[in-house]
Structures are given as C-alpha cells and as structure tokens.
Amino acid sequence: MPRVAIIGGGIGGLIAARAASRRGIEVAVYEAAPELREIGAGVALGPNAMKVLRALGLEDEVRAIAGRSEWILTRNGKTGRVISRTSRREQAASFGSAAATVHRADLLDVLAASLPDDIVTLGARCVGVAGDGPAAVARFQDGNVIEADVIVGADGIHSAVRTSLFGPDAPRFTGKICYRSVIPADAVPGGPPPNDNAQWLGPHGTIVLYPVRRDELINVVCHYDDETYRHESWVSRCERSEVLERYSGWHELLLRVFSAGEVWYKWALYDRDPIAQWTRGRVTVLGDAAHPMLPYLGQGACQAIEDGCVLAAALAAEPDDPLAALARYERTRRPRASQVVLASRQRGVSNHLASPLAAWRRDLSIALRRRLGRDPDGRGTAWIPEYDASSPDVLAA
C-alpha cells in the first residue's frame, strides 16, 4: 500500500485520512493551524455525504450532534408561503439516507476522534509540492521537507498545493455577498422558530436557517445581490444593524431570529470555473482545493467527503501503482464535481430572481417536478443525493 501525506486537516482531509486508514493505507495529515479547528458555522450534510459517513462507521456519532429537524422546506422570503416540503423520511426512502445539519466544529471533533493520535501533525504550513519524481515531496514554511508515495492537497479554497501544481486561480466576483451567524435558539425573542431546515427565497437573495448541536443553535446564512462589497473572507465582521436593514422587507420570523444574532460575518462570493486537471504526477487535490463552488446547493463539504472516500478506494484498488490510482480517482470524481460546481452556479441565479413572474414560474416548476417525478425538492438535482461514493462499483474503469 502507498504512503499518503494529506495537506490540510479540515473536513475533506480528515475524511480522506479516515477512509484510507480503514483500508490499511499508511497516512499522515499535515495541518497549518496549531490545532484542529473549523470556523464557527454550520454545515449541511446531504444524503450523499451521510452515506459515506455510514460506510466509515461515523453516521451515528454525527447524527447524535446534529440538528433534529424533520422537515426540509423552501419558502417565500416575504410571505412565508411554503413552496416545497420534504420530510427526512421521504428523503431517506428516495436516496438511501436522510440529510443532517451539524456545527462544523462538532463534525471536525468526530472526525479527529476517529483517527489514531499520531496521524496529524499541527503547525505545518505547506508552501510547495513536487510530484514528478520517484516520490512526492512537500515543503513547509518551517523548512521541513517530507516525502510520500502520494501527496493530497486538501488545503482549501486558497490551496498552496493547487497553486504549486497549476498556478494561481482567477476567481470572478459574482455580485453576491453572504452574511452568517450562529444564534442560540433560546435567545430568539418570542421563542425559537420551528426547527425546520428552511430555505427562504426572495428578490435578490436567499436565506437559509437550520438547527445544529441538537437544536441548541440556529445556523443562519443570508445571500444577497450586492456589487459593492468584494472582500472574500469568512472572518470579516459586520454589524447586526446592516443585516436587519438589508432584509427589512422580509418575513418577520427571519427578522426576529436576526435580532438575536450577536456576532455577524460578511463575505463576497467569488466563482471559479472547474479546473481541467486535478493531478500532476504523484500529487492530487480534493475538496475546495479541487472544486471550489458557490454555496447554493450546500455541497461544498459533501463533495469533499465524496472525494476522500473515492480517493481511498482508488488507492486501495491500485496498491502498487499510485499513478494509476490517482488517474482513476480523477476520472471518477472530476466530471461529477465539475457538474455540481456548474449546478451550484445556476441555482444561485434561480434563487435570486427579482421578477415576480419569473419567481412564479420557478415555483410552479418546483411543484410540477415534485408531482410528476422522483424529485423531493422539485429543483431537478436529485442526481446529487442519489450518488453513493461508498459503493463498491463507484470507481471509473
């Protein structure tokens, strides 16, 4: 079996480490931060991600720390009218598993606890890689150099591994921004809202609310069309008053929730085209390092989880030929992940329709799809949760 070094100890990196170690592959993780941590926000895990967690023996632990919502709703952001409603039970029947919503830090704790103690090296910031020789090489900021049979860049949207392989990317500003907060449910004036996983659609924007940490917290993500703010950072703060003013005409339940948010963050959404190549020699990438995407389908973490599972399967299928293994991994994953990137881009357009007539046509299309086909949310993307990255026959030939 090959020796694998994973650059990045986030969700995708730790999933890859868990999947690889369960297959008997020697793996080491190198994380730039001094501790394993995630930003203070929620993450939606679709049925496709939950099937991987089940295969890795982690589903029960993740569901134990997840929100407990029964319904997945799409609503009109102004009136509150329900556009579509799907139960977790219906989702499980359609796709083989139900989704879950968790705090990112809680999920990372579960993943880290599933690994042997000596797998992760902290405070190791990678600055460059090379994969064209008889071994892959990673160089770190402190001067340390390591070799492995395979190096995996799981180091996020601003990946040093991807840049080292293919040069810097060229992100395009979408004209959209996001606000986020995590709000204690018992702090909401008048009592907490229903614990549904709800997406609210309005002119020029989308708001997503869902419970995390056993319904103790409400994760809030608000999108809006705004050409004026272009700072791409998840940790830039803004005032609560800005959020309340921005959505002043939206449903009163939303404004009531927002009023309880003590800390708000704001960032600009940048879009990136799917890249034509993930692998060079003995080095490849996964997750946001491979396919950064807009958040409108809630698939960023899910696709990283799929990547980690498939990568381990490919390495185990070609134990004596790392180059062949990485080629199979890329053949299997790149077309699907690229399709999700493009679908996420299109969903952002559909969600933000400003024309009442166009929004009415969208909502009618959702109702017709739900009535006529096996498509619980009515948006034409059932192909995403149907996929099972843990299937024995998932690998491309």
Taking Cα atoms as reference points, which of 149, 153, 125, 119 lies closest to residue 137?
Answer: 149
Contacts of 21 (CB under 8 A, 6+ apart): 27, 115, 116, 119
Query: Are the C-beta atoms of residues 227 and 239 closer than 8 Å to each other?
Result: no
Taking Cα atoms as reference points, which of 222, 295, 213, 229 lies closest to residue 257?
Answer: 222
Could you count the other beta carbons within 10 Å of the beta carbon of residue 58?
19
Catalytic choice (179, 210, 265, 296): 210
Identity of the residue numbered 265 = Y
Which residue's structure tokens are 């501790």?
35
CA distance 312 to 52: 12
Query: Are the C-beta atoms of residues 345 and 271 closer than 8 Å to each other?
Result: yes
CA distance 340 to 360: 25
329 is catalytic: no
Could you count the other beta carbons within 10 Å of the beta carbon of residue 196?
18
Active site residues: 210
